[in-house]
C-alpha cells in the first residue's frame, strides 16, 4: 500500500506477519546513519497505536529522481539494460520493471520498447543548480503534502 502524497509512505505485511514501512523525505546527499528514528514519526502518523513497538530494522538510500517523476528504461547495448529514476515509486515499480527487463533479455521485447520511449528530460540548471533546484522543488511538494 502507498498513499497519494508526493513524498509517499508505503507499507505492507511481510510473510511472517510483520509490518514493513517506509516513508519520509530527506534531501541529504549522504546516507542517514539512524534510519529507525527518522522513519518513526512517519510511521506513527499512520499507525499511532504502534508507539510502543520496537523497530527491528532500518535501511535507507538515495532516490533517483527524474524531471517527469517517471522511471526510465534504456538499452545501453544488446545485452545491457538499465532501469532507474523511480522517484520514490520504486517499491511498486522496480519489481515489475525487473520482470520486463528479464523478459526482454529472454527475447520478449514488446513492453521494453514502450518503456524505452518514455521521455527523460534533463534537469535544467546544469550541475551547479541541479541539487538546489531539486531540493526547492521537492520541498515545495512536501509542503503541499502537509497542507
Q: Are residues 49 and 96 in the same domain?
A: no
Q: Tell me the per-residue pLDDT of 110-135, one tens digit each, with 9 for 90 and over.
A: 788 788 887 778 777 777 888 888 78
In a domain, 39, yes or no: yes
Q: Which helix (H) or strand (E) holds 134?
A: helix 126-146
Q: Are residues 54 and 17 in the same domain?
A: yes
Q: Are residues 29 and 74 in the same domain?
A: no
Final residue before a domain boundary, out of 62, 78, 108: 62
What's the grid cell of residue 90? 520504486
Q: Rounded to the nearest 5°, which phi and psi values hold at 42?
A: -70, -40
| pLDDT on residue 27 | 67
Q: Are residues 39 and 80 in the same domain?
A: no
Residue 22 has pLDDT above 90, yes or no: no
Q: Structural domain tally of the chain?
A: 2
- Look up the domain containing 8 and give its range: 1-62
Task: Tell me the average pLDDT of the chain.
Answer: 84
Q: Tell me the per-residue pLDDT of 36-69, one tens digit each, with 9 for 90 and over.
A: 998 999 899 999 999 999 999 988 777 777 888 7
In a domain, 146, yes or no: no
Q: What is the pTM of this model?
A: 0.66
Amino acid at each position: 500500500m502507498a498513499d497519494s502524497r508526493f513524498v509517499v509512505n508505503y507499507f505492507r505485511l511481510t510473510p511472517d506477519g510483520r509490518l514493513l514501512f517506509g516513508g519520509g523525505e530527506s534531501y541529504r546527499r549522504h546516507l542517514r546513519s539512524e534510519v529507525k528514528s527518522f522513519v518513526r514519526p512517519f510511521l506513527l502518523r499512520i499507525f499511532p497505536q504502534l508507539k510502543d513497538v520496537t523497530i527491528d530494522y532500518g535501511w535507507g538510500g538515495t532516490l533517483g529522481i527524474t524531471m517527469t517523476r517517471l522511471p526510465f528504461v534504456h538499452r545501453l547495448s544488446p545485452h545491457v539494460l538499465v532501469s532507474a529514476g523511480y522517484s520514490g515509486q520504486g517499491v511498486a515499480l522496480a519489481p515489475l520493471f525487473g520482470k520486463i527487463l528479464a523478459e526482454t533479455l529472454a527475447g520478449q521485447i514488446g513492453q521494453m520498447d514502450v518503456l524505452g520511449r518514455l521521455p527523460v528530460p534533463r534537469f535544467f540548471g546544469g550541475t551547479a543548480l541541479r541539487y538546489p533546484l531539486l531540493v526547492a522543488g521537492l520541498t515545495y511538494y512536501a509542503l503541499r503534502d502537509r497542507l
